[in-house]
Chain A
Amino acid sequence: MTTQTQSYSRFRENLKTTKRVLKGNPNLLLGVILVTFFVIVSLGAGLLDKANDPGCEESSQIRKSNAIEKHGKDKYKEHYAEVDCSPAIYIKPFIRLNPPGYPENVKNVPPTASEEQIEQMRVMEREKTHISHWFGTDLMGRDVYSRTLHGGRLSLAVAATVSILVMLTAALIGIPTGYFRRVDNIVMRFMDGLMAFPSFLLAIALVAILGPSFQNVVIALWITGIPGVVRIIRSLVLTLRESQYVEAARAIGAQPLRILFVHIFPQTVAPIVVAGTYIFANSILTEAGLSFLGTGIPPTTPSWGNQMGESRIYASISSWTIFFPGLMVALMVLAVNLVGDGLRDALDPKLRRRG
């Protein structure tokens, strides 16, 4: 009973602190709201996606078999319009590369519908609804809005995985490195070597050699992200190990492992989290750049980067295919940076209002 009340009052206390911090920093609040928005939208992409038509698969199966029955196996293709029903790649056979606001694609196509009937339904739909395909369609007639929604998932997944991996490994490397002087020299020389690479270039080279896939993009961003964070943690630990309370712990005979875990590690958590947010933002940008160049996530799964990359060739006639995914990248990175700056200010009052 008492522990419950205790934990509850602790929760209230935390909530109060959170409120105070958010109130004092409108930028942080804006960032948190934007990030929450993006996470919700990406997780709920399937629900928000208008092109997602539950009966689509069944109906196109039946239409196909009807067409085969009617026209024979060789000729049915002329009378059957292929509709891809996977939510993010909803191919509309005739409407291609349309600007935002172009009339709606047909839904609930009855199994018996012929080609002409579908076209008729499409015309009717156009008259009925004026705003659909908010973001237009791309070269293959896919809805840019729905692809952008789904693309967010992948971009966020990459960034989240990378930033968690980087935070963990950088802490594992950085804390002992700062504490044990003998290791320091060797590890930091190695980190300096890795830091010397312009990180984007190293990331492209790594993905090019490992092969483009989700996993390899994560590996490349992970490797290029580590040295910077290690350097931050290490310099922090260097000052912490000279501080009086660590000296006191050493004086009463605490083992190095205990000092690292109990006394030093808690002090490094806040800066690691702040560094993690910058890694997160940077991963979104880098993933977008890699996928844009075709050395990132393969185009079968939409990500903001490869959506823009696919639109490269015809970008001058259809600005919308690049504008919307890029806008999402910019907003997301902006939001995460705002959160990072806000956290840095909130967690370290010394650095407040410096830029």
Chain B
Amino acid sequence: MGRYLVQRILAIIPVFMIVAITVFMLIHITPGDPALLMAGDEATPAQIDALRKDLGLDKPIHIQLMNYFKDISRGNLGHSIFNNHDVRGLIVQRLEPTLSIAFVAEGLAILIGIPLGIIAAWKSNTLYDRLIMIFAVGGFAIPSFWLGYNLIWLFAVKLSWFPAIGYNPIGEGIVPWISSITLPCISIGTIGAALIVRMTRSSMLEILREDYIRTARAKGLAEFPVLIRHAFKNAGLPVVTVIGLGIAGLVTGLVVTEAVFAIPGVGRLMVNGVARRDFPIIQGVVLATTVSYVLINLLIDLSYGYLDPKIRYK
């Protein structure tokens, strides 16, 4: 187990290096001078020079890269060009809405996806299976922001059950918080649920064909424990992988859905940064999100050792 752990952790070091280099290179792939681009059309040459000096763009590129590595290893993501705020501070400030939507959406996806997937595999090739698969295939194709707008139209404009836009911090009470994140969570969670349904179903179908399931049924075990304790326990591993990979979809959903529901989260920070060509913010958000995405998938990889003892001894 110890060896496995060390191996997995060591394997992400080159990944982090490449991620950091790519994010650093982002501003250097621009055609032309990045400082000129950031300063905007109305900047004077002196302003552009000052900006160049401020961002260290006047130094040779390898020195810039070294400085960038030094900065990010200290957790310093630079300053916004637009209002000079610390990028890390800006991200931390906006973490609460983003994280609460992410967690609830993912939880919703798991709570809906796994049971539906199990039912689809259990009742495979029946009407239930067909209906669930229609949801799974359809949920995969729907753009989350489009679903968001339709939810707003139905539940906020027509029925007025939920507020159309905005976010209420959890500190102001649980009920307003939940009602403000319900629609965003449904619109983001659907795609994750669709993914989980497909994976659960296909992996359960394979397990349900195994001999030991027949044995369990033959000895008179009720259907529910057969499905959950015998089948799902073994079918769960690929589902866990898909949950990890689904976080990339979650990030996509968050960026666009925060724009739809006007939620002041990290995704909005990114979109605003893009609109203002505020490169340090773009770089900071991309880096922070990618690092957390990699770390979550590392944790999931490590949890295999716990979930499946066979991996430990490989």
Contact = CB atoms under 8 A, between A and B. Distances in A.
Do A and B pair up? The answer is yes
B299 interface: no
Interface string A312-338: 100110010011001101110110011
Interface in B145-168: 145-146, 149-150, 152-153, 156-157, 164
A193 B145 CA distance: 28
Interface in A189-218: 189-190, 192-194, 196-202, 204-206, 208-210
B248 A337 contact: no
A286 B293 CA distance: 19
Contact of B26 (A190, A206, A354, A355): A206
Nearest to A193: B18
Interface stretch (A14-22, A65-73, A291-299): A291-299
Contacts of A288: 143, 146
Contact of A308 (B18, B145, B275): B145
Contacts of B93: none
Contacts of A319: 149-150, 153, 157
Interface string A336-355: 01100100000000000111
A308 B205 contact: no
A200 B145 CA distance: 14
A225 interface: no
Contacts of A194: 18, 22
A289 interface: yes
B91 to A, nearest CB: 13
A196 B157 contact: no
Contacts of B277: 208
A202 B293 CA distance: 13
Contacts of B153: 315-316, 319, 323
Nearest to A295: B274
B35 interface: no
Contact of A209 (B141, B156, B206, B279): B279
A247 B21 CA distance: 39
B133 to A, nearest CB: 9
Contacts of B79: none
A289 B19 CA distance: 23
B159 to A, nearest CB: 13
B237 to A, nearest CB: 15
Contacts of A331: 141
Contacts of A200: 248, 251-252, 255
A330 B289 contact: no
Contacts of A189: 14-15, 18
B286 interface: yes
Interface in A102-146: none
Contact of B294 (A190, A196, A293): A196
Given A208-B282, A308-B146, A334-B138, A192 B251 contact: no
B146 A338 contact: no
A136 B150 CA distance: 16
Contacts of A201: 251-252, 255, 270, 285-286, 289-290
Interface of A: 189-190, 192-194, 196-202, 204-206, 208-210, 281, 285-286, 288-289, 292-295, 308, 312, 315-316, 319, 322-323, 326-327, 329-331, 333-334, 337-338, 341, 353-355
22 contacts: A193-B15, A193-B19, A196-B293, A198-B247, A198-B248, A198-B251, A198-B289, A198-B293, A209-B282, A210-B29, A288-B146, A293-B259, A294-B274, A312-B260, A316-B164, A326-B146, A327-B146, A329-B143, A330-B143, A331-B141, A353-B205, A355-B201
Given A198-B247, A333-B142, A337-B140, 17 more contacts: A189-B14, A189-B18, A196-B294, A198-B251, A199-B248, A199-B252, A201-B286, A209-B279, A210-B31, A288-B143, A289-B252, A292-B145, A295-B271, A295-B274, A315-B153, A316-B156, A326-B146
Q: Which A-B residue pairs are the 5 nearest by beta carbons?
A: A193-B18, A355-B202, A326-B146, A200-B252, A333-B141
